[in-house]
Amino acid sequence: MLRLFIAIALPDALRQRLGGLRVGLPGVRWVAPENMHLTLRFVGEVALDQAQDIDAALAAVRAPRFSLQLEGVGIFGKPRKARAVWVGAGQNDALLHLQRKVDVAVTRAGVEPEARKFSPHVTLARLRGVSPTRLERYVVDHAAFRAPPVPIEKFVLYSSDLTASGAVHTPEAEYPLAD
């Protein structure tokens, strides 16, 4: 069994810039910069033969290259029960087009359709028991975050192993976007 997800890998410079936001919020589990990515579709646990079907379906996806700009900081959930802190992606039709194509490909490979609406973001931290006041202050202090646009030329199929020290993401296959 493999635990899979499809994502956009972020350039090192952007991950380091996002890593600079990992301050001022005690008691959270910060995502390591090397694990930061923008998830297009979480797949979950699949058998090896289904993973091969997913790989074949993703290899057939055709979508253009585009620029991605990350901006703004927010949370999933209300401040008292927030689950994560994230940086959002600016409005981007090409990103939405790619995500829809990836979702269709994965569904055709036999994976249940995604129930949640796509919300393009990069997770910065996972939360448990963080002060709502501190969390709201952090979001306000970082709301104006804006990174320069970066070129996106591929998307990646990752496997994810959950360990005591956090998730380890391994690229399994890369799929180029069209010129």
> In this structure, which topology does domain 2-176 adopt according to CATH?
Cyclic Phosphodiesterase; Chain: A, (3.90.1140)
Residue of 37, 97, 142, 169 marked active site: 37
Residue of 97, 121, 142, 169 marked active site: 121
* Centroid of chain to Cα 163: 19
Q: Give the pLDDT mean for 70-93.
A: 95
DSSP string, 103-163: HHHHHHTTPPPP-SPP--EEEEEE-SS--HHHHHHHHHHHTT-BPPPEEE-EEEEEEEEEE
Rg for the chain (alpha carbons), in Å?
16
Q: Under a CB-based contact definition with an 8 Å cutoff, are residues 94 and 129 in contact? A: no
C-alpha distances (whole Å) from 155 to each of 14, 68, 69, 75, 123 are 16, 13, 16, 25, 17
Q: What is the pLDDT of residues 89-125, one digit of tens each?
A: 999 999 999 999 999 999 999 999 998 999 999 999 9
Active site residue 121: yes
Spatial distance between the Cα atoms of 64 and 62, rounded to a whole number of angstroms: 7
Active site residue 97: no
Q: What is the pLDDT of residues 7-55, one digit of tens each?
A: 999 999 999 999 999 999 988 999 999 999 999 999 999 999 999 999 9
Residue with tokens 């493999």: 2
pTM: 0.95
Q: Give residue 101's pLDDT.
A: 98
Spatial distance between the Cα atoms of 110 and 170, rounded to a whole number of angstroms: 22
Closest CA to 72 of 119, 13, 6: 119
Nearest-5° angle of CA 89, CA 92, CA 96?
Answer: 95
